[in-house]
């Protein structure tokens, strides 16, 4: 039962994030990126994470 429920949840999840990773800049020069997981037909509508990198002086 748990296996079937896991498969159903994975099918219903629509994941959005940045498409490609570019390594042509240093860590401090990179843009801030958000990602979120959009859930279909589930109460939780937004999960996210934010990574902030800054140069130490």
Q: What's the pLDDT tens digit per position in 1-54?
A: 788 888 777 776 755 555 666 667 665 565 656 555 555 554 444 445 555 555
22-31: long-range pairs with CB below 8 Å, 24+: 27/53, 27/55, 28/53, 28/54, 28/55
Instruction: Extract the tokens encoding 52.
Output: 């902030």
| Rounded-to-integer distance, Cα 49 and Cα 28, Å | 18
pLDDT at res. 42: 46
> What pLDDT score was predicted for residue 32?
59
Query: So what's the pLDDT on residue 6?
Result: 83
Which strand (E) or helix (H) includes residue 2? Answer: helix 2-12
Q: And the tokens for 37?
A: 């997981």
Report the C-alpha gap between 26 and 24 in whole angstroms: 7
By residue count, the chain amounts to 57
| Single pTM value for the model | 0.26
């Amino acid at each position: 039962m748990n296996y079937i429920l896991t498969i159903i949840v994975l099918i219903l999840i629509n994941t959005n994030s940045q498409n490609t990773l570019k390594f042509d800049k240093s860590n401090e020069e990179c843009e801030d990126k958000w990602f979120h997981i959009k859930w279909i037909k589930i109460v939780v509508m937004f999960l996210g994470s934010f990574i902030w990198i800054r140069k130490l002086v």
